Structure 1
């Protein structure tokens, strides 16, 4: 430690490589973990942890999948009825259609708002909540009443501080009475999830056509029956569509777990590549440490020779040089860890990209730098330990 403190400039420059390398790794890891957590939360919020989705295409992974899904028939209300009739484990199933449309209140116009048409079972899903007022009742859905529930941001943009409940808005030029406004939900990568209006499916079909492309969301009576409910829904749709045993499904069925698995599979490779590229700078930092320690051994040849002449063992000299190498490396890692966290939190505060700081990241940074110091300090330490004391003392 005295030797490191006596050569402050050299020690600072020696640790600089590790500071940059570890800071970059920690910043990248924190940002990626933050994005993963936010996207995972958004996926679970969108699809539900105990629900499954039936749509026209499913999850398309290849060009062949895309080509095959082009001829799939649209999901219809008849498909929902077939699943409801056949399934014994189904708790609720709703159909939803979405289109972009105009929403107006007096002189305020919102363009390209997400208009969501739903069927009566939508209230059984946690995706829809009411912070003010209430949700649309099943009776109002069945009778196609002109009522609507606004997303949190839509309500704020239309009404500011006014209470939106029982006020009349125009959707695509048609009057609707607002019965409620939803609770706010977290944005995803800076994108609002609350720019929508929920209306009964019958009203939606009058606004946008009688054959919209639907998405079905279903949930079993209990989470343990999820796989069984998916199998029953698949069989019901194949029977409804008269598919032969050897024919592939002309619809898609997936859960939030399926989407999360694909997302994690895609990001795992990106994560490994980014960390690998940044990790190369650790090697450069280790080489710098090795060169500096070789210079230290040359400068302190007489000291090493004197220690050996006084009885110092080979392992004593080996540990002396290794300790200095590891301390320099870990010191750079500690500074780099703090720098990486500061960069990640700073970027998160200035941009929509979230950051997540995990304790294991600190352990990762310190462990990596200690390993670098140990590995690249071995050769200089071995060279110091192998010096002949007589030759070393004879050098000027």
Structure 2
């Protein structure tokens, strides 16, 4: 039995080596592959990477192999793009070639490959076009959706006021407020924060996975249509997951950061009082007159680096990139972390500094390196909505409240809880003191 086990392992290793050699021969004939570390059979480069902080592992590899290199996650080949120039050239200059969605098991489990986030080919094109058109019809980018955000900001402020200055974790409040914006778009109305149906919707979004399997009807007979109950309901779920989670987490992380820097809050509130006052709601037209507040919101998004690896892509055809050949369907990691933390564009990038987005005269400074929503064909469909929500919610809350930490502000740790896919804020409580 022991001999049989040894033989089996030996055969597996031989087969793996043959497969790797065959892959290398077939691709090397077409062009040079991006460099990378030596891979082991079956496991690839997994033993050389830190799974709990993959971005840091990839940063070290980029220092050795350059801005374009290859790794293997088990048998899965991945080309990593590290740095602004490489990411920009791929996602913007060669946008069509890099427009496929990578197939990570976790993303597949969450999104099933049928919605706007993870679908590919003609399905993705039709769903994205339909989603953008529908969101515009429902008011995204128009005055009507801004008014909905202003209304929700009012409800959020009143809910915070009901806490009577007691310290609490604002996470649920922020999730409910942001979710209500999506609800108002998709369902045409918001929910009361205590509504049981609404709370169930928030807590059990994943339950949609179970329901998907029972919703196949007559659509199966129409092989040409991409608008099935499954794809449309999955796209709706995508909007909730992406539109609720990212924005609410950014807000939650932002208020943690602002507790550490009371002087920044004072400057924001001074600008709010000067431009808006205390009696009317903030609106997007105010943003152009509030460069400091705008810079703070941008710096929060840059600093937290929410999706350090970006959402994976694939090349949709055999692609020449720089001097390299990348075979069709190769997974791509167009990393956002080295772009948002580029030391030349953002001096002292590990420091939270609104000055990263301010000119010497105090006006707002745009940066091509600011791409928390990714870039190119797969840029976040809800970018415009998220920008409106972040500015109005941050401004409305700081218009009405000052933040009081439960610990000395100097002791607050604002560094993210690092994970492979998303950086999360550390748990905290804070008191909101009426101004």
Give me the TM-score of the superposition, normalised by structure 2.
Answer: 0.23
Tell me: higher relative CO, structure 1 or 2? Use CA pairs within 8 A at least 6 residues apart. 1
Higher Cα Rg: structure 1 or 2?
1
Give me the TM-score of the superposition, normalised by structure 1.
Answer: 0.24
Higher helix share: 1
